[in-house]
A and B are shown apart, each in its own frame.
Chain A
């Protein structure tokens, strides 16, 4: 608990971005208060399900109808089971309006989604940062690769990540440990793609999963049960990596169960002086003060706090002179892909459960301009040998049948594309002031849809997946192109975008609110476009970069 209400810096949120803001601010000597709306989850000791066998968990680790009633949205996620359900919010307690269907998957606890993320960490390139300007979409990113490259390195050195460096312009080189090994089918696919295509290759994903020991953490023990929390600290989370580093400085005050209602704006001083916090349990409001505030509450929640900060100067939300606050919401889309099997390579197997996927980097709109859509997609590829479920629909039974189905079956493969979504002004969030939650904070309404560009891309995603698998001689290839509910990829981006012009953007090139320069927004809200790659690494890099700038500005007396 905080013993004083005044700090040098306040960080709202303790997840991917908040953990980095906390580490960088405290290491630069600032007394920092980190506010987290959820409960505390202590590293390792609170990962209570991490080492349980399926039959040791309630309901053999399956969700029950009662779970589905309590968490009707969260329980639809592929990660959701008895061992992980405590990492996800109670949907009824944390409701939101859906002007159009939107799956908002969240964890309200210390560490946020850094505990349950899929751990892919690719850099963005100038193909991404320059895309809006090149194509006249939305507004231009105010930064280029050279601005963020040193910060990507800064993050990678500390978090530890493994993977291939494919030497492609669309995936800038990273600081990586050796990749996890491919299995026999993946090696077969990689070799076939090298032969059949000049523009497509299979790589092991860059992932914040340690293949080697790093700073006393890891390596990965092959459980592939990361979302329960890792007792070996083998993947990056705030809980296991950044928050302990921040705590070690002696400058960190971490306060869970504290939801931020709004920022405090002093009209006389024309600046933000602090935050209003509601205690989640007692509903008591307390004010905390600091010279600088970092908003790291996740894309939708950071913007919600700004929208709920309505003052004489900012009647439509803090920093909303442009009218863009809440707009240009994005998520990736992953509707297109394919499944297949392979009857060869029967004499090869694997040991352990790899906690990363294989990846086919984006190849559309790289060498040549596509006619049907802008931007592109990368594929995640999952493979394995069949299990006993293949015996379910066979007419066989008896000892020979049992012996056969307990052996490894044929290889199978599942792949889905992850496509870029363009920023559309009317994909947006807003506050429903007549529907406050139990803490008196207006609930969000979300309206987002995919458009023609995403639909055309999804169709090509399916066709390309089929073509790649056919070239590899795989069997029973089934392409799919299913409808996706926005939010389902859990890469919410935008709603407080960066930009060069205060008339069209909320933040400047340093994630600083144009008209409230001691407030920085460094989570996914700041995104100007939604490149193909997973975004967390970029949030971390932008956060560290913004802290460095903020502290320089504070020392210079500018903020």
Chain B
């Protein structure tokens, strides 16, 4: 159903999850310790989130602990099917993924993306990974304030300004 809220969510399935709130609270409060994935899986996940969102002029996804976010969010928000798809996807990439060269990591994920893009979300490891990585990172303080532009109290509204060079999108 189209409504204002759904329209602003874009294609993200995770942003529509009823459990995302609890996950964000646990993420803010909790120690950085894997609860769902094994240490080896978490290592692969850490490498993956940084391949998707590497350090640029803003920190990489792992600097915002996005891999730990996924560890909390996936069991809480994803369907059983999506969880299974995701776990199998991680296994298929192999535990050695974390130790590949950056070029090899990119090539391997690219191959996976090509294979997965025609699939439905629930069946697509790559689509779920992208969704959870982007949500985790851009909702974090690092993502919102360093990768995006955020002003708590803008001090007013200017409706029509020239786009400044390298102006980041507003976080909210």
**Taking beta carbons and an 8 Å cutoff, which residues of A are in contact with B?**
51, 53-55, 58-60, 62-65, 67-68, 78, 82, 180-184, 186-187, 219-223, 337, 339, 346-355, 382, 385-395, 397-399, 401-403, 405-409, 412, 414, 416, 478, 480, 482
Contact = CB atoms under 8 A, between A and B. Distances in A.
Nearest to A413: B7
B95 interface: no
Interface in B1-23: 1-5, 7-12, 15, 18-23
A389 B2 contact: no
A337 B4 CA distance: 11
Nearest to A351: B158
A414 B4 contact: yes
Contacts of B160: 181-184, 187, 348, 350
Contact of B134 (A53, A183, A389): A389
A91 B162 CA distance: 47
Nearest to B58: A406
Interface stretch (B30-38, B39-47, B85-93, B148-156): B148-156
Nearest to A52: B152
Interface string B68-112: 000000000000000000000000000000000000001001000
B119 to A, nearest CB: 12
Given A53-B152, A399-B56, 15 more contacts: A55-B28, A82-B21, A219-B156, A220-B156, A222-B154, A223-B153, A347-B163, A353-B157, A388-B148, A389-B12, A389-B134, A392-B130, A399-B54, A403-B56, A416-B4
A54 B156 contact: no
Contacts of A59: 20-25
A394 B113 CA distance: 9
A472 to B, nearest CB: 16
B51 interface: yes
Given A60-B25, A382-B4, A350 B161 contact: yes
B152 A392 contact: no
A414 B127 CA distance: 26
Contacts of B2: 337, 339, 478, 480, 482
Interface of B: 1-5, 7-12, 15, 18-25, 27-28, 51-54, 56, 58, 106, 109, 113-114, 117, 126-127, 130-131, 134, 138-141, 144, 147-148, 150-164, 167-172
Contacts of A403: 56
Given A51-B152, A53-B141, A408-B169, A393 B52 contact: no
Contacts of B21: 58-60, 62-65, 67, 82
A354 B138 contact: no
Which of A223, A339, A416 has the most C-beta atoms of chain B within 10 angstroms of its own C-beta?
A: A223
B167 A408 contact: yes
Nearest to A409: B169
A180 B157 contact: yes
Contact of A385 (B27, B109, B169): B169
Which of A346, A388, A403 has the most C-beta atoms of chain B within 10 angstroms of its own C-beta?
A: A388
A392 B13 CA distance: 9
Nearest to B49: A397
Please list the 9 inter-chain residue pairs (A to B) with the smallest Cβ-Cβ separation, ordered nearest first: A181-B159, A389-B10, A59-B21, A60-B24, A62-B21, A352-B154, A222-B154, A352-B157, A393-B11
A406 B148 contact: yes
Contacts of A395: 113-114, 117, 126
26 contacts: A59-B23, A63-B21, A64-B25, A78-B4, A180-B159, A182-B159, A183-B159, A184-B160, A186-B159, A219-B156, A220-B157, A221-B154, A223-B152, A223-B153, A339-B2, A347-B162, A349-B162, A349-B164, A350-B160, A353-B154, A355-B157, A387-B170, A387-B171, A388-B148, A393-B11, A401-B52
Contacts of A348: 160-163
B130 A339 contact: no
A391 B113 contact: no
Nearest to A68: B18
A351 B23 CA distance: 31
Contact of A352 (B20, B155, B162): B155
A408 B169 CA distance: 4
Contacts of A354: 157, 159
B22 A482 contact: no
A489 to B, nearest CB: 12
B154 A407 contact: no
B51 A397 contact: yes
A508 B129 CA distance: 64
Given A389-B15, A399-B54, A60 B139 contact: yes
Contacts of B7: 339, 412, 414
Given A62-B21, A406-B169, A397 B144 contact: no
B118 to A, nearest CB: 10
Contact of B52 (A349, A389, A398): A398
B154 A54 contact: no
Nearest to B14: A392
B162 A64 contact: no
B36 to A, nearest CB: 18
Nearest to B1: A482
A6 B9 CA distance: 54
Contacts of B19: 64-65
A458 to B, nearest CB: 13
Contacts of A58: 21, 25
Which of B8, B144, B156 has the most C-beta atoms of chain A within 10 angstroms of its own C-beta?
A: B156
Contacts of A401: 52
Contacts of B126: 395
B8 to A, nearest CB: 8
Contacts of A382: 4
A48 B79 CA distance: 35
Contacts of B168: 406-408
Given A339-B7, A406-B148, A387 B169 contact: yes
A59 B29 CA distance: 10
A55 B136 CA distance: 12
A278 B113 CA distance: 64
B163 A388 contact: no
Contacts of B159: 180-184, 186, 350, 354
